[in-house]
Amino acid sequence: MTINEVKATLRAGIEAIEHGRSTFEQAATDAAEAIARAHQLLQDSQDGEVKKMRKSLTAAEGEVKATVGRFAAAKGNAESYLADLG
């Protein structure tokens, strides 16, 4: 594989990362809206299972933020490597 082929592969990968990030963020926005509605509907419940579910939903929101960060890190690493190649 030539250096130009490596660069082209990296560019395609960066484009795929950006597309994946965009798609994931849209899904995350939709999920956040659904989670907010669920929290509103269940806020007064004292049921143990409902409390567990609300805790799980809150944890899922944290994972979404971490995943968005992983997309950004992957893109940054690929762009850095591409820049190092010249």
User: The CATH number of the domain where 53 resides is what?
Assistant: 1.10.287
**Which parts of 1-86 fold into alpha helices (H)?**
3-42, 48-85
Confidence of residue 72 (pLDDT cuts 50, 70, 90): very high
Distance between CA atoms of residues 2 and 22, nearest Å: 30
- Give the structural domain span for 46: 3-85
What confidence score (pLDDT) does residue 26 get? 92
State the total domains in the chain.
Answer: 1
Confidence of residue 71 (pLDDT cuts 50, 70, 90): very high
pLDDT over threshold 90, residue 23: yes
Asked if 36 and 69 touch (Cβ cutoff 8 Å), the reply is no
User: What would the mean pLDDT of 60-73 be, rounded to a whole number?
Assistant: 88
Distance between CA atoms of residues 61 and 52, nearest Å: 14
Could you give the angle at which helices 3-42 and 48-85 cross, rounded to 10 degrees?
Answer: 160
Kindly compute the dihedral angle of the four CA atoms of residues 66, 69, 70, 75, in this order, to the nearest 10 degrees.
170
